[in-house]
Each structure stands twice: as C-alpha cells, then as structure tokens.
Amino acid sequence: MTTRHDRLMTWAALLLLAVICVVFVSLGRWQLRRAEERKAIAAQIDSGRKGSPLFLSATLAPSSLKAWLPAIAEGRWMPELSLLIDNRNQEGRPGLWLATPLMLKDGSAVLVLRGWLPRMIDGLTVDPASEEAKNIALIKQVVGGNEEQIVTGELAEHVPRLFEIWRLSGPAGQGTLPKGWPQQQAGSHQPSLESLPRVQNIELIDLKTATGLNFISTVLLQTDTKADGLSRSWPQPSIDSDKNQGYALQWFGFATIALIAWVVIAFKAYYRTKRED
C-alpha cells in the first residue's frame, strides 16, 4: 500500500526531475547561442581580413574602421610617448606589449601595438649570446627611432583588455597612466626600454587627454615582419563553435535522460495507484 510519505517522495522526485530537465535544456540552448555568436565572430574576422587595406588618416569615417581590416599607416614614431602594456603572456611566457603612437602626415595619430617582448627584471637577464638577448637589443634600438615609417597591420576597436579589480569601485581612468606622464618624459626623444611606463590597460580617451594628440578611433596591431626583435602573434577571440555544439548535445542528452526518468517514475506511480484502486 502506498503511504503518504511514498506519495510525497514520488512528487518530489518528479518535480526535481522536471526542474533538472528544464535547466539542462536551457544550458543546451545557451551553448547553441554561444556557437552562433562564435560563428558570427569568425565570419566577421574572415570578412575583415579579406577587405582592401585602409590607408589611415583623420578623414576616414569611424564606421569604416572595422576590426580585423588590414590597414597601412605612414608617419613617424613618437617614442617619448611609448608605453609597455604589462601582463601579456605568449605561449606561457610572461611579457609585455610595446605600444607607440605614430604621428601621421595629416597631423593625426594612431596608437600602434608594435609587438610582444619577454618580461625583463633589472634589465637584461638572459644569456648575452642568446637569440633572445639579440632581440632585446633590437627592441632597445627601435624604441628611440623616429624615422619615417610605413606600418602595416590589422585594426582593433581598442587595446585588448585584462580585468582590473579596482575598476569596480573607482573611476574609469584609475590605474592606467602614471601621474605626471607624459610631462616627465618631456625632452626625452630617445627613451630607454627600462624607463617606459608600464600599465595594465590603456584607453584611447586617456591617451588623448594626457597627450593632447588627435588619435584616430582605432588601434593598429602591427603585423609586418620588420626585424626589430618583437613577436607579433596577437590574441584573437575563440571561434571554436563546434565545441559549443558538442556541449549543447551533451546537455540535451542529460535532459533526455532526466525526461526518461520522469516518465518511468510517473508511470510506476500511476500503475501503483491503479492497482490499489
């Protein structure tokens, strides 16, 4: 004979399985949406990279400065305004990005991420005869160069960011540019690599406010093969939509198992009730 306790346990099991089924289906649908988002990003990257190169200038409409488009900039480096963007790992190695404004011929400027270099402690700490030491020596030379340059690369909407916990409680510009910069660099047209300020993240609006330069509203990720010792393997968003589709299939499979269990328990409860009647 079915007791009241048995009936309560049956209803609790059915309710729990129904909730689990709904949750698993929701997770599966979320993974499918993520897959579609990644497909859209992949299409955007592919479309951008197939576009004709833009010659950067202040006359370009902001709507034309789309991410992943190839671009060419011609002008002179402003090494006294160079920055090191910290905590940027590459292949598991800690390092930094070198960022320098390029003054274009029309008087506007574009921020160029020039490449990655390994993190150094107290200057050069590698074997002087190694390839890495040669690369660092090259980097030290290019920081101070201000000859006419033609730089090729890909556009980005902003400098790729890392999470900053202080931004949860502070103003947008907190924790970026050091106080007194760039006035403290005034007159230093040949800065050393070690003297460059380090920042975790940087926004174009902050650079524009600090320097007074007319920055184009885009960032150029340098991709050419200049022999300057910098590595130019830039991060890009994950576009592996197949993984999300696989996860979705798993969640739908779990939901199916929960549904089958619900049907079995409901059928047994119904059968017991009918038999007792």
Q: What is the pTM of this model?
A: 0.76
Q: Determine the average pLDDT of the residues in 67-93.
A: 90
Residue 238: per-residue pLDDT: 84
Distance set, CA 248 to CA 6, 33, 142, 240, 243 (Å): 35, 10, 49, 13, 9
User: What pLDDT was estimated at residue 170?
Assistant: 47
In terms of DSSP bridges, do strands 70-77 and 83-85 run parallel, antiparallel, or are they unpaired? unpaired
Tell me, what DSSP letter sits at residue 78? -
Distance of alpha carbon 167 from the chain centroid: 17
Top pLDDT among 122 and 161 is at: 161
pLDDT value at 164 more than 50: yes
DSSP 190: S
- The confidence band for 109, taking pLDDT boundaries of 50, 70 and 90, is very high
Q: What's at 227, amino acid-wise? A: A
166 pLDDT more than 60: no
Please, where are the H alpha helices in 159-240?
204-211
Query: Rounded distance, CA 196 to CA 137, Å?
Result: 15
pLDDT of residue 133: 60
Q: What is the pLDDT of residue 145?
A: 63
Give residue 60's pLDDT.
Answer: 92
Q: How far is the C-alpha of 276 from the C-alpha of 261, rounded, in Å?
A: 23
pLDDT for the residue 231:
87
Residue 215: predicted pLDDT: 95
The region of weakest confidence among 115-129, 219-233, 258-272 is 115-129
Q: Quick one: which of 97, 89, 144 has its CA closest to 117?
A: 97
Closest-CA residue to 193 (of 127, 128, 131, 121): 121
Q: Taking 50 as the threshold, does the pLDDT of residue 130 lie above it?
A: yes
Q: What mean pLDDT is predicted for residues 71-93? A: 90
Question: What values do phi and psi take at 125, rounded to 5?
Answer: -120, 15
* Bigger pLDDT: 113 vs 238: 113
Q: Please state the rounded mean pLDDT for residues 190-216.
A: 86
Q: Distance between CA 149 and CA 73 in Å, rounded? A: 8
Taking alpha carbons only, the member of 255, 253, 246, 245 closest to residue 25 is: 255
Report DSSP state, residue 178. P
Q: For position 173, what pLDDT does the model report?
A: 42
Question: What is the average pLDDT across 11-23?
Answer: 93
CA angle, residues 52, 53, 54, in degrees to nearest 5: 115
